[in-house]
């Protein structure tokens, strides 16, 4: 956003003259006016008060790398290579690029908007500017590919932990890792394998999309909600959210490495939104009662012929009436 500095100055909600803004930004008054117009075109509500100046009417929640870093637990800060972008195609693609260019430490990319946000199963992830959180992390796990089985569920638990710590109550998880509130989907996680397959090391990109302030989301074809809609009494700040999410993911990955997936079975099951409902999987090939997950992260469906484990991946699970 070209007008980020301008909006930072206006974010106190006071009236600022064109002259004082021009001085603070080191530009002409005409340039200030152009930035105001641009910001308004991008959806920021700014009032022009004749003879006095400009005032921000809507509250803005700007991303800021220093604020994100200070919201991350100190023990993790040193390992992280944080990149905060104004706009990107997909933060997952950007982290993939950073990993393949050999960037050291733990690459994390956050963007204010995505122009080609990716969802699971080839879907588009609607990613409007300034509204939500789009965050990707490059994760390296020691161990074989079996480590991947539980990973996406582990990440779902980590997101729920972070959101609950900040004041979200009653969150649910929809297998394998959608974040749900009673109003619908609040967020999703896209886990993509990165690089050449190497024995003993697994590299993945984990992308988190959380609806934060959105009140409308064009093109989304299922019930959805945002933190601001579902928890209007909490003051949601994307920087805090990002810092807490990164910390929760690092905590969860430490526990996963130390104790394996078993440590996540109970926390995942406690938030299972399917449990006890009639469900179908594999395009209707498996129909039965949802019975939670097993120690590998498969979803169990109790059918007339016994319990069938359903693997995460191509197939989805849905409630049938």
Catalytic one of 98, 120, 174, 271 = 120
Specify whether 120 is catalytic: yes
Q: How far is the CB of 116 from ligand BTN (least distance, A)?
A: 7
Q: Is 298 annotated as a binding residue?
A: no
Could you give the C-alpha distances from 115 to 91, 126, 177, 243, 265, in angstroms and in order?
10, 9, 23, 23, 36
Q: Which is nearer to ligand BTN, 90 or 298 (CB)?
A: 90
Specify whether 185 is catalytic: yes
Specify whether 318 is catalytic: yes
Q: Is 185 annotated as a binding residue?
A: yes
- Contact flag: residue 138 with ligand BTN (CB under 6 A): no
Tokens of 276: 């006890």
- Contact flag: residue 125 with ligand BTN (CB under 6 A): yes
Q: Which is nearer to ligand BTN, 160 or 308 (CB)?
A: 160
Question: Residue with CB nearest ligand BTN?
Answer: 188
Q: Which is nearer to ligand BTN, 92 or 161 (CB)?
A: 92
- Of residues 145 through 204, those in contact with ligand BTN by CB under 6 A are 178, 188-190
Q: Which is nearer to ligand BTN, 46 or 157 (CB)?
A: 157
The residue from 35, 90, 152, 226 that contacts ligand BTN (CB under 6 A) is: 90
Q: What are phi and psi of 233, to 5 degrees?
A: -85, -10
Q: Is 120 annotated as a binding residue?
A: yes
Q: How many residues bind ligand BTN (CB under 6 A)?
A: 20
Q: Which is nearer to ligand BTN, 71 or 113 (CB)?
A: 113
Binding mask 287-306 for ligand BTN (x = CB under 6 A): --------------------
Question: Is the distance from CB of 211 to CB of 225 less than 8 angstroms?
Answer: yes
- Contact flag: residue 134 with ligand BTN (CB under 6 A): yes
Contact positions vs ligand BTN (CB under 6 A) = 90-92, 114, 117-120, 123, 125, 134-136, 178, 188-190, 207-209
Residues with a known catalytic role? 120, 185, 318
Annotated binding site for biotin: 90-92, 114, 118-120, 185
């Amino acid at each position: 956003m070209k007008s980020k500095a301008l909006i930072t100055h206006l974010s106190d909600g006071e009236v600022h003259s064109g002259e004082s803004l021009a001085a603070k930004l080191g530009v002409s008054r005409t340039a200030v006016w152009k930035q105001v117009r641009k910001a308004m075109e991008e959806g920021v509500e700014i009032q022009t008060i004749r003879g006095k100046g400009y005032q921000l009417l809507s509250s803005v929640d700007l991303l800021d790398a220093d604020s994100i870093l200070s919201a991350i637990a100190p023990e993790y800060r040193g390992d992280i290579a944080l990149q905060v972008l104004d706009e990107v195609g997909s933060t997952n693609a950007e982290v993939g690029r950073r990993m393949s260019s050999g960037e050291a430490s733990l690459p994390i990319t956050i963007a204010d908007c995505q122009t080609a946000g990716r969802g699971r199963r080839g879907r588009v992830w609607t990613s409007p500017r300034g509204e939500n959180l789009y965050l990707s992390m490059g994760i390296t796990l020691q161990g074989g590919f079996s480590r991947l089985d539980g990973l996406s569920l582990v990440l779902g638990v980590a997101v729920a932990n972070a959101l609950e710590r900040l004041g979200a109550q009653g969150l649910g998880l929809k297998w394998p890792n959608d974040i749900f509130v009673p109003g619908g989907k609040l967020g999703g996680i896209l886990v993509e394998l990165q690089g050449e397959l190497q024995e003993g090391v697994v590299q993945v990109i984990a992308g988190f999309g959380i609806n934060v302030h959105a009140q409308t989301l064009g093109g989304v074809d299922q019930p959805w909600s945002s933190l601001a809609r579902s928890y209007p009494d909490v003051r949601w700040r994307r920087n805090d959210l990002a810092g807490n999410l990164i910390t929760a993911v690092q905590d969860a990955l430490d526990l996963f490495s130390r104790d394996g997936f078993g440590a996540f079975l109970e926390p995942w099951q406690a938030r299972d939104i399917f449990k006890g409902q009639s469900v179908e999987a594999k395009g209707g090939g498996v129909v039965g009662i949802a019975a939670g997950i097993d120690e590998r992260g498969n979803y169990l469906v109790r059918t007339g012929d016994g319990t069938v484990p359903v693997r995460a991946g191509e197939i989805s699970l849905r409630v049938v009436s």
